């Protein structure tokens, strides 16, 4: 018998069911829902979304749509689900800003994460299957959305919020994310230099 206090709680919490430990291990919070949404509905969702974001942001990002969740949050989803059924090719940033180290990684059949840290600053690289990409971090009232087209024609959706920057893109096979405490140009440099790991 032990006195119930913080030490005792942390000791007991260390012995929780293995399934909870594995479940929490970096899986993106994804709602696996069938998205048979017509272009009309998607367009309506986008129009609603644009009314709450900073004006003059034109949302015409191919392959993605935003819809309102029952909670009131806005969710970014992928329109086209066609793509590999599992992570067959893995990608990674070939450029990382000075001072950042890759301190954690996770590769599963459905996602490939790499986390980088430079002191208290972080950024995350993610590669996801198109069929289950779903991101609730997008589209809150203080977010600013921008679509940027690179010299090679690749489109990136950039979301700048008080918590940092997120860049999402789709290479036709997978959805990618770079998010963290980065300035816009640095984030885009990382995105442009994401390459398949050989």
Partner 1 sequence: MNDEQIIELYFNRDEQAINETSNNYGSYCCKIAYNILGNLQDAEECVSDALVKVWNSIPPQNPENLSAYLGKIVRNIALDKYRRNSAEKRADTGMALAIDEISEILPSKDSVEKAVDVKELVAVINAFLKELKPDARKIFVQKYWYFSSVKEIAQMFSLTESKVTVTLTRTRKKLYDHLKKEDIL
Give the three-state DSSP class for 65.
strand
The Cβ-side half-sphere exposure at 168, using a 13 Å CA radius, reads 25
- Nearest distance from residue 195's CB to partner 1, in Å? 21
Closest approach of partner 1 to the CB of residue 7, in Å: 6
The nearer residue to partner 1, 115 or 174, going by C-beta atoms, is 115
The CB-of-45 to partner 1 minimum distance in angstroms stands at 19
Shortest reach from residue 99's CB to partner 1, in Å: 14
For residues 44 and 92, which CB has a smaller minimum distance to partner 1 in the complex?
92
Q: Which burial class, exposed, middle or buried, applies to 66 when counting CB atoms under 10 A from its CB (0-12, 13-18, 19+)? A: buried
Nearest to partner 1 of 47, 54 (CB atom): 54
Smallest separation, CB 101 to partner 1 (Å): 9
Best CA proximity match to 194, nearest among 87, 96, 79? 96
* CB of 31 or CB of 62, closer to partner 1: 31
Go through the chain and tell me how many residues it has.
198
Rule CB under 8 A: which residues touch partner 1?
Answer: 1-29, 73, 102-106, 113, 115, 122-124, 126, 135-137, 140, 161, 163, 166, 177, 179-180
Element (H, E) at 123: strand 121-129
CA contacts within 13 A on the Cβ side of 53: 24
CA distance 91 to 196: 4
Q: Is 26 or 94 the residue whose CB approaches partner 1 more closely?
A: 26
Compute CA 1 distance to the chain's CA centroid, rounded to the nearest angstrom. Answer: 44
């Amino acid at each position: 018998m032990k006195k119930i206090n913080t030490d005792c709680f942390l000791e007991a919490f260390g012995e929780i069911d293995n399934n909870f430990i594995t479940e929490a291990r970096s899986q993106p919070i994804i709602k696996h829902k069938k998205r048979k949404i017509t272009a009309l509905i998607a367009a309506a969702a986008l129009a609603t979304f644009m009314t709450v974001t900073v004006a003059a942001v034109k949302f015409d990002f191919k392959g993605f749509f935003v819809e309102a969740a029952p909670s009131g949050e806005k969710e970014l989803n992928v329109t086209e689900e066609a793509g590999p059924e599992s992570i067959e090719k893995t990608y990674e940033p070939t450029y990382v800003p000075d001072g950042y180290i890759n301190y954690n990684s996770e590769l599963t059949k459905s996602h490939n994460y790499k986390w980088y840290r430079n002191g208290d600053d972080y950024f995350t690289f993610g590669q996801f299957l198109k069929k289950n990409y779903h991101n609730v971090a997008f589209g809150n009232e203080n977010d600013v959305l921008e679509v940027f087209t690179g010299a090679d024609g690749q489109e990136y959706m950039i979301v700048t919020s008080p918590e940092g920057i997120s860049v999402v893109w789709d290479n036709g096979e997978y959805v990618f994310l770079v998010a963290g405490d980065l300035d816009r140009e640095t984030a885009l440099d990382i995105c442009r230099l994401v390459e398949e790991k050989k």
